[in-house]
Chains A and B, each alone.
Chain A
Amino acid sequence: MSASASAPRLRLDPRQPAVSVAGTTLVVLALGLLLELGGRAEWWDVIPPLSAMFQGVAGLVGDAQFWSDAYRTGLEVAVSLVFGSVFGLLAGITFWKLPAVGRAFEPYLVALYAVPLALFYPFMIVLVGINVWSVILLATAMAAIPMALNTAVGLASMRPVYTKLGRSLNLSPRQMLFAVALPAAGPYLVAGLRMALVYSLIGCVAMEFVTAQAGLGYRIRYLYEIFDDTGMYAYILVVLLISVALTVLLGLVERLILRGRISW
């Protein structure tokens, strides 16, 4: 309704993607400039200037410790993403095939949607020990929940004409699943995969941050405890940069995969 006043004098249309990208870039640059100037002029004493943080990040590139932490976190995220998506997909298909099972699990999945599961971490380290598996097990569960719910919703909202076509072609249950149902739920599955990656990354870093032996989240905690603020800010910035890069990349991949699909 606010757009109703868009008279010819307004030349930039915020609804155009290019304008949005340029505008967002400007906002990011302005925020970065504020962080740089504020840090230099010491308007606040907490966050160092952005250039100093980026210098710290550049210093990490040649640091073997950094690569070993990044490898640890990357391994945890990758393993939990693979396990989580497979379990989530299987669970989603089960909920679709056996609605009674779906109804039994539904309130728990909805109420414990991903992030609150991280609270079980202290219990997990008692059971499994402070190692890579306690992180992977919980991150797998965190990744599996959005994948399972998205798969179930995607399959349940499939248009009936698809299954009718499959039946009239006398497809086997396996063909029905792989050739009809899963492709029909495609956009939901891709969105589920994206959320699974986001949650496994959030989960792994958050759990390392609570306590661990290695990993990017653990290193931030360690540097905080030994009062190495410069190193800590470099690690925080690296984690944020990696996550933003992943989010942007996933958005592009999602668009690429779904390109050419008939919208419905």
Chain B
Amino acid sequence: MVSTSSLTIARSRISPLPKIALTRNTVGPVVLAAAVLLLWQISSGLVFVIPSPAATVQELFANLADPQYRTDLAVTAGATVRAFVVGAGIGFVLGLLVGFSDWAKALLEPLLVAFNGLPKIVLYPILLQMFSLGGGKVAMGILFALFPVFVNVATGVRELPPVYWKLALSTRASRWQRLVHIVLPGIRKPLLTGIRLSVSLAMSGVVLSEFFATDRGLGRVVLQAFSHAEYATMVATLVLLIVTSFVISVALWNLEKKIR
């Protein structure tokens, strides 16, 4: 599997001045976003089920003023944060295990890789019975969030240069010191890649679960708005979810490109 850190389109090694890089890398995406907005505006005039961008933003603010909606927002955000923290934590520990131990790699890695290729969402009815309506979606989010951190930490640890361990030996670093001063700085880049993917996957897992069945949450709001034909609320909520996930991902991605 090609690690996602290498999936960024390769650019020249010699980076230009930061300011130039900023304009060069911002103009294109902004122009594209403007084009999409324009397309959205035009199509909202043609198809009555599509609310215009202005109407969507207006609806979003109207929704945010509603305490019921804010509760749903808080439920989804809370579940996502819990799923991300626990999932990334489990993924980190598993990654260290598989990165350091040849036996763990031999026994667990094929299973974990196969598990990643599964449509994990079909396990949701089982998770619902095990963890109830509130916990099932967190469990689903954990299953979604775990893998990217796991695979990036495992490959990161495996690719640490051997000279690091010689240094650790010569300074008689303890296990904890090796983890904090050698492993963590050494794998910071793949770790950040894993965290970035893990955040958006945790949210996707939680919201997809909420689409299926839950007590509260934005996923339920979306499907309810769908069945009541309140398309402005539906689109506004989807835009809120996607934009939030996009902003977090891009921020982490920029951080990732900055650290070397």
Contact = CB atoms under 8 A, between A and B. Distances in A.
Interface of A: 1-3, 13-15, 19-21, 23-24, 26-28, 44, 46-47, 95, 99-108, 110-113, 115-116, 118-123, 125-127, 149-150, 152-153, 156-157, 188, 191, 195, 198, 201-202, 205-206, 209-211, 217, 220-221, 224, 232, 235-236, 239-240, 243-244, 246-248
Contact of A240 (B100, B109, B118, B129): B118
A26 B102 CA distance: 16
Contact of B32 (A46, A105, A120): A105
Contacts of B28: 100-101, 103-105
A209 B122 contact: yes
Q: Taking each of A100, A108, A195, which has the highest tally of chain B beta carbons within 10 Å of its own beta carbon?
A: A108
Nearest to A240: B118
B114 A126 contact: no
A261 B124 CA distance: 42
Given A1-B100, A224-B125, A210 B211 contact: yes
The B contact surface, by secondary structure, is: helix
Given A44-B130, A110-B250, 11 more contacts: A2-B102, A14-B106, A19-B106, A105-B32, A106-B9, A111-B246, A113-B200, A115-B200, A152-B9, A201-B117, A232-B125
18 contacts: A19-B106, A20-B105, A20-B107, A23-B103, A27-B108, A46-B129, A46-B130, A101-B28, A103-B24, A119-B242, A127-B47, A127-B50, A188-B2, A206-B208, A209-B119, A221-B212, A224-B125, A248-B114
A226 B239 CA distance: 33
Contact of B10 (A24, A46, A153): A153
B45 to A, nearest CB: 15
Contacts of A15: 102, 106
Interface string B107-134: 1111101100111111111100110000
A142 to B, nearest CB: 11
Contact of A210 (B114, B126, B212): B212
B15 interface: no
A24 B125 contact: no
Interface in B196-250: 197, 200-201, 203-204, 207-208, 211-212, 222-223, 226, 231, 234-235, 238, 241-242, 245-246, 249-250
B174 interface: no
A41 to B, nearest CB: 17
A123 B235 contact: yes
A23 B117 contact: no
B246 A20 contact: no
Given A24-B110, A126-B49, A113 B4 contact: yes
A21 B208 CA distance: 34
Contacts of A224: 125
Contacts of B4: 113
A224 B8 CA distance: 41
A146 to B, nearest CB: 8
B92 interface: no
A112 B242 contact: yes
B6 interface: yes
B111 A14 contact: no
B102 A23 contact: no
B241 A111 contact: no
Contact of A118 (B10, B29, B208, B235): B208
B119 A205 contact: yes
A122 B246 contact: no
Contacts of A153: 2, 6-10
Contacts of A243: 117-119
Given A153-B10, A210-B211, A116 B242 contact: yes
B48 to A, nearest CB: 11
Contact of B126 (A20, A156, A236, A247): A236
B259 interface: no
A23 B9 contact: no
A44 to B, nearest CB: 8
Contact of A20 (B106, B124, B223): B106
B101 interface: yes
A156 B223 contact: no
A163 to B, nearest CB: 15
A150 B122 CA distance: 28
A247 B114 contact: yes
Nearest to A237: B122
A24 B201 contact: no
A19 B25 CA distance: 48
A153 B253 CA distance: 17
B31 interface: yes
Contacts of A123: 234-235, 238
B20 interface: no
A202 B119 contact: yes
Given A1-B100, A119-B242, A123-B234, A47 B10 contact: no
